[in-house]
A and B are shown apart, each in its own frame.
Chain A
Amino acid sequence: MIPSPFDYAAPTTVAQALDLLADAGDDVKVLAGGQSLIPVMKLRMADPTMVVDLGRISELTGVTDDGDSLLIGAMTPHHVIAKDLLIATYAPLLAQAAATVADPQVRHRGTLGGALVHADPAGDMPAPVLALDATLVVAGPHGERSIAAADFFQGYFTTAVQEGEILTHIRIPKYVGWGSHYEKFTRVAQQWSIVAVAAMVRVEGGAIAAARIGLTNMASTPLRARGVEAALAGCALEADAIATACAQAADGTEPASDLNGDAAYRRHLSQVLTKRAVLSAAGL
């Protein structure tokens, strides 16, 4: 399958990329790792006349320690996220989710920023980024702005990134003393999540002091399971009590029905997977 013809530019700085986007009009696509955009172009579901490839902008790749937070370049590929020492130390949830994305070849090319801006409801990176309270740094013609993860995901394949803007970095607060786990349910290898749960738990004195739960594919955007988080705060480190708290995981969700499962099945899955994720994050 061959995409429609397009013009191609590979800038080496963010400033060049923004200039190219400003000149290209509205029929332009930004190419990150290409593991979603290229298949869509091959199917001709997207046929931009111009593609701006961020792959040669070195300032967009890598993980840096920035005081109270980690700053992750948007073009950092999943396989690096999965193995990076800083991420393993301060935000292991992100690494755990990245290790489940698609397959090794796709993880070698696909990027964190690309996955977030693509915003597929079944994508694995948005829910952890939401649970981690990340801040998304976006560059545009009028400078840089920071967007809270809670405001970033706006609907199916829709984010707060506007035309002419580029997601440049993901800022994640450092978490110390938290356990985490990403529990993903699929039927076959390399499948998109049917449902997945990103869980972080801080245990103090034999009880759960705080929990953060992100849900994948339970609505058009990733969701926080706020009811579960509230119920887990102060919850004993005991499987039955945790299961009871996790029973409300589906509250406020709006899962789709498709060939992999209907909405009721997804609601059920969200409860089971939240329990598993929290138990694992708590070390039980």
Chain B
Amino acid sequence: MASSKTITVEVDDVSYTDDVEPRLLLVQYLRERLGKTGTLIGCDTTNCGACTVHLDGVSVKSCTMFAVQADGHQVTTIEGMATDGKLAPLQEAFHQCHALQCGFCTPGMIMQSASLLKENPHPSEAEIRDGLEGNLCRCTGYQNIVAAVKSVADGVEYGDSGVSASLEDAQNAGVS
């Protein structure tokens, strides 16, 4: 049996110290050890981008990295994007632009879009499409995703839709 390693990782501004098997993938660590299931496993083969998180501020595919490699580093997941109960501008834009249908690709799309806008705050439509090359969406045809990212780059301000509806609101909306 391969020996485990102790790692300390800062995830969404909280420091965690854990013993992990070297073969544990970062995405498994986030989901199964930390309960951060907002980061999804799609293809599990480095293609789809659903597992995209930020490592020290740049996007990576967390299915293609071992948790031990993140030792001493900072990870941001989709669950760290909202602040004080307020959605991040990209989250709000995806919501308002209807940039999703099933939503499975959305966490990865938003994390990659955030990384793209950090590197290139005013991308053209072509640069947005290139920047999202590593993220697959099988529902939308990408139009509204590109529109959402463009709107944030263009500084469009959306009203606050609230990060979490109350149980009552959710039930009224037919969600339980």
- B22 contacts A6, C-beta separation under 8 Å: yes
Query: Which A residues lie at the B interface, using CB under 8 A?
Result: 1-8, 10, 31, 34-35, 38-39, 41-42, 49, 51, 53, 55, 79, 102-106, 108-109, 189-190
A contact residues around B88 at 8 Å (CB): none
- B134 contacts A190, C-beta separation under 8 Å: yes
- A106 contacts B134, C-beta separation under 8 Å: yes
Q: How far is the CA of A268 from the CA of B168 in the complex (A)?
A: 64
- B68 contacts A38, C-beta separation under 8 Å: no
- B134 contacts A105, C-beta separation under 8 Å: yes
- B2 contacts A6, C-beta separation under 8 Å: yes
- Given the known A-B contacts A34-B66, A104-B115, A109-B65, are A7 and B3 also in contact in the complex, defined by CB atoms under 8 Å? yes
Q: How far is the CA of A172 from the CA of B175 in the complex (A)?
A: 60
- B1 contacts A5, C-beta separation under 8 Å: yes
Asked if B98 is at the interface (CB within 8 A of a chain A CB), the reply is no
CB contacts under 8 Å to A, within B67-92, are 68-69, 71
Q: How far is the CA of A8 from the CA of B70 in the complex (A)?
A: 13
Given A6-B2, A34-B69, A109-B64, 19 additional A-B pairs, CB 8 A: A1-B45, A5-B1, A5-B23, A7-B2, A7-B3, A8-B2, A10-B71, A34-B66, A42-B45, A51-B22, A55-B69, A102-B134, A104-B131, A104-B133, A108-B59, A109-B60, A189-B133, A189-B134, A190-B47
- Given the known A-B contacts A105-B134, A106-B46, are A7 and B22 also in contact in the complex, defined by CB atoms under 8 Å? yes
- Given the known A-B contacts A1-B44, A5-B21, A42-B44, are A105 and B49 also in contact in the complex, defined by CB atoms under 8 Å? yes
CB < 8 Å: which of A4, A55, A102, A109 contacts B23? A4
Q: How far is the CA of A249 from the CA of B134 in the complex (A)?
A: 31
Asked if B61 is at the interface (CB within 8 A of a chain A CB), the reply is yes
Q: How far is the CA of A204 from the CA of B131 in the complex (A)?
A: 37
Cβ of A12 to closest chain B Cβ, rounded Å: 11
- B65 contacts A34, C-beta separation under 8 Å: yes
Q: How far is the CA of A232 from the CA of B60 in the complex (A)?
A: 42
> What class of interface size applies to chain B in its complex with A?
20 to 34
- A108 contacts B23, C-beta separation under 8 Å: no
- Given the known A-B contacts A8-B68, A10-B68, A105-B112, are A2 and B23 also in contact in the complex, defined by CB atoms under 8 Å? yes
A contact residues around B2 at 8 Å (CB): 5-8, 49
Q: How far is the CA of A56 from the CA of B98 in the complex (A)?
A: 42
- A38 contacts B115, C-beta separation under 8 Å: no
Q: How far is the CA of A39 from the CA of B25 in the complex (A)?
A: 11
Q: How far is the CA of A38 from the CA of B60 in the complex (A)?
A: 13
Q: Give 20 A-B contacts (CB < 8 Å), ordered by A residue.
A: A1-B44, A2-B23, A2-B28, A7-B22, A8-B5, A8-B66, A10-B69, A31-B69, A34-B64, A38-B65, A39-B64, A42-B25, A49-B2, A79-B58, A103-B135, A104-B134, A105-B60, A108-B58, A108-B115, A109-B60
Q: How far is the CA of A6 from the CA of B49 in the complex (A)?
A: 26
- Given the known A-B contacts A103-B133, A103-B134, are A35 and B23 also in contact in the complex, defined by CB atoms under 8 Å? no
Q: How far is the CA of A31 from the CA of B66 in the complex (A)?
A: 11
A contact residues around B134 at 8 Å (CB): 102-106, 189-190
Please give me the residue from chain A that is nearest to B47 by CB atom: A190
B contact residues around A1 at 8 Å (CB): 44-45
- A190 contacts B64, C-beta separation under 8 Å: no
Most B CB contacts (10 A, CB to CB) among A31, A102, A189 go to A189
Q: How far is the CA of A2 from the CA of B22 in the complex (A)?
A: 11
Please give me the residue from chain B that is nearest to A5 by CB atom: B2
Q: How far is the CA of A194 from the CA of B30 in the complex (A)?
A: 35
Please give me the residue from chain A that is nearest to B68 by CB atom: A8
Asked if B52 is at the interface (CB within 8 A of a chain A CB), the reply is yes
Cβ of B91 to closest chain A Cβ, rounded Å: 19
A contact residues around B65 at 8 Å (CB): 34, 38, 109
Q: How far is the CA of A41 from the CA of B25 in the complex (A)?
A: 11
Q: How far is the CA of A3 from the CA of B63 in the complex (A)?
A: 12
The 10 A-B pairs of least Cβ separation, nearest first, read A103-B134, A8-B22, A5-B2, A189-B133, A103-B133, A3-B23, A108-B58, A105-B61, A105-B59, A7-B2
Please give me the residue from chain A that is nearest to B4 by CB atom: A8
A contact residues around B1 at 8 Å (CB): 5
